[in-house]
């Protein structure tokens, strides 16, 4: 199988390493707007083919993995769909709702499969929590708490085009809440704060944000995100039910310290970043994409899933900016 990867930055370089090691991937072509960067990454990883996006398309791959900067996704998905090849795309599909709908329609018209990079769906903890909730082990769910706490901000130039903290970070938790609970979000109330670097406020963004989500069956879910969690990379999903509680991400490396005397757990070094925490999930989602490319399975995470998560992130952003409750119907229009 021939695979093309576009974008060899933080996540793209990791995907390149994973794809290189998949037995079904016979040829891997790395492309980047910065062709020298694509070549350097290819050299470091022992991959023989690299170059521009045009060269990648000319190599007639079976599938394309898009891990370029957010602003390039819509155009790259168009190019892949026009070439008639399966597409894997890191979130988001496009920068806004109209653009996302347009990309989904274009992909549908081209008849190519599209898989979105919501890797929490491939993490064993999230999978177990979903299965145990569905099996009724928790009783009925009264509360869901989800957090994505980054240890340090990305480079300053990433922020103005990131879409903001809800669309960039919390969107993963929003997708996880939809996928794990099987419910849709009905309304949100969000707020944010800036106590870190000035470049967040300069981009109209916040470095820390919280949101309260009401699901369509009345369950309450709370989201938290920050760029400044010095203890480490902390991604958790807590499901609290009438009978039991399950927590995803509460393991030996959770970046937590108890304030209670004599409690020394967790003992292992904290996760430093998304690559350490989700390495196996990133590998699993790309193995799934191989099956999608081969036509063996439908996409496990569709463009419509990305659109649904985006509606909620949009509603959170609007709620934060206007200090009011926002119903999802308002952003669906």
Ligand X SMILES: NC(=O)c1ccc[n+]([C@@H]2O[C@H](COP(=O)([O-])OP(=O)(O)OC[C@H]3O[C@@H](n4cnc5c(N)ncnc54)[C@H](O)[C@@H]3O)[C@@H](O)[C@H]2O)c1
Residue 68, interface with ligand X (CB under 6 A)? yes
Burial class of residue 95 (count of CB atoms within 10 Å of its CB; 0-12, 13-18, 19+): middle
Peptide bond into 266 cis (omega under 30): yes
Residue 137, interface with ligand X (CB under 6 A)? no
Residue 72, interface with ligand X (CB under 6 A)? yes
Residue 159, interface with ligand X (CB under 6 A)? no
Q: Least distance from C-beta 145 to ligand X, angstroms?
A: 20
Residue 83, interface with ligand X (CB under 6 A)? no
Residue 78, interface with ligand X (CB under 6 A)? no
Neighbours of 84 (CB within 10 A): 10
Residue 33, interface with ligand X (CB under 6 A)? yes
Stretch that binds ligand X, among 18-26, 28-36, 138-146, 248-256 (CB under 6 A): 28-36
Residue 114, interface with ligand X (CB under 6 A)? no
Burial class of residue 60 (count of CB atoms within 10 Å of its CB; 0-12, 13-18, 19+): exposed
Each residue of 295-313: b (16+ CB within 10 Å) or e? eeeebbbbbebbbbbbbbb
Q: Least distance from C-beta 65 to ligand X, angstroms?
A: 11
Residue 1 or 72: the one with the smaller Cβ distance to ligand X is: 72
Near ligand X by CB under 6 A: residue from 20, 37, 78, 183: 37
Contact yes or no for 243/139 (Cβ under 8 A): yes
Contact yes or no for 185/174 (Cβ under 8 A): yes
Stretch that binds ligand X, among 8-16, 134-142, 290-298, 310-318 (CB under 6 A): 8-16
Residue 8, interface with ligand X (CB under 6 A)? yes
Residue 119, interface with ligand X (CB under 6 A)? yes
Alpha carbon distance 286, 116 (integer Å): 10
Tokens representing 149 are: 């706490």
Kindly give the pairing relationship between strand 220-226 and strand 208-215: antiparallel
Q: What crossing angle do the helices spanning 171-181 and 303-322 adopt, rounded to 10°?
A: 120
Near ligand X by CB under 6 A: residue from 22, 69, 203, 220: 69
Contact yes or no for 45/17 (Cβ under 8 A): yes
Near ligand X by CB under 6 A: residue from 4, 28, 29, 32: 32
Near ligand X by CB under 6 A: residue from 2, 3, 4, 11: 11
Alpha carbon distance 258, 270 (integer Å): 14
Near ligand X by CB under 6 A: residue from 2, 3, 7, 200: 7
Q: Least distance from C-beta 306 to ligand X, angstroms?
A: 11
Q: Tokens 């020394």 belong to which residue?
A: 264
Consecutive H or E run containing 236: strand 234-241
Stretch that binds ligand X, among 4-12, 202-210, 300-308, 320-328 (CB under 6 A): 4-12
Instruction: Give Cβ neighbours of residue 212 (< 8 Å, ≥ 6 apart).
Output: 188, 189, 190, 220, 221, 222, 223
Q: Least distance from C-beta 157 to ligand X, angstroms?
A: 8
Residue 39, interface with ligand X (CB under 6 A)? no
Q: Least distance from C-beta 274 to ligand X, angstroms?
A: 5
Q: What are phi and psi of 120, to 5 degrees?
A: -60, -30
Near ligand X by CB under 6 A: residue from 70, 208, 299, 319: 70
Residue 274, interface with ligand X (CB under 6 A)? yes
In the DSSP assignment, the letter for residue 167 is I
Q: Which residues bind ligand X (CB under 6 A)?
A: 6-12, 32-34, 37, 53, 67-70, 72, 90-91, 117, 119, 158, 274
């Amino acid at each position: 199988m021939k695979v093309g990867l576009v974008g060899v930055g933080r996540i793209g370089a990791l995907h390149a390493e994973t794809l290189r090691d998949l037995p079904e991937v016979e040829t891997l072509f790395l492309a980047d707007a910065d062709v020298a960067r694509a070549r350097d990454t290819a050299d470091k990883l022992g991959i023989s083919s690299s170059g521009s996006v045009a060269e990648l398309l000319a190599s007639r791959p079976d599938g394309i993995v898009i891990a370029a900067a957010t602003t390039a996704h819509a155009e790259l998905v168009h190019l892949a769909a026009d070439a008639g090849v399966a597409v894997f795309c890191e979130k988001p599909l496009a920068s806004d709702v109209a653009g996302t709908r347009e990309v989904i329609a274009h992909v549908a018209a081209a008849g190519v499969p599209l898989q979105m990079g919501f890797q929490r769906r491939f993490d064993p903890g999230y999978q177990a929590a979903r299965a145990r909730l569905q099996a009724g082990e928790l009783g009925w769910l009264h509360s869901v708490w989800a957090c994505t706490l980054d240890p340090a901000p990305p480079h300053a130039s990433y922020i103005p085009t990131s879409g903001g903290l809800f669309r960039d970070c919390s969107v993963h938790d929003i997708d996880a809440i939809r996928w794990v609970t099987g419910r849709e979000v009905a309304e949100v109330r969000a707020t944010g704060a800036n106590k870190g670097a000035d470049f967040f406020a300069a981009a109209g963004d916040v470095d820390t944000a919280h949101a309260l989500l009401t699901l369509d069956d009345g369950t309450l879910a709370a989201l938290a995100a920050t760029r400044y969690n010095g203890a480490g990379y902390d991604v958790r999903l807590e499901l609290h039910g009438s009978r039991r509680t399950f927590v995803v991400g509460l393991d030996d490396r959770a970046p937590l310290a108890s304030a209670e005397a004599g409690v020394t757990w967790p003992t292992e070094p904290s996760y430093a970043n998304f690559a350490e925490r989700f390495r196996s999930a990133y590998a699993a989602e790309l193995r799934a994409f191989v099956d999608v490319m081969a036509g063996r399975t439908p996409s496990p995470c569709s463009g419509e899933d990305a659109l649904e998560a985006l509606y909620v992130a949009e509603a959170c952003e609007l709620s934060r900016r206007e200090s009011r409750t926002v119903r999802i119907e308002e952003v669906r229009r």
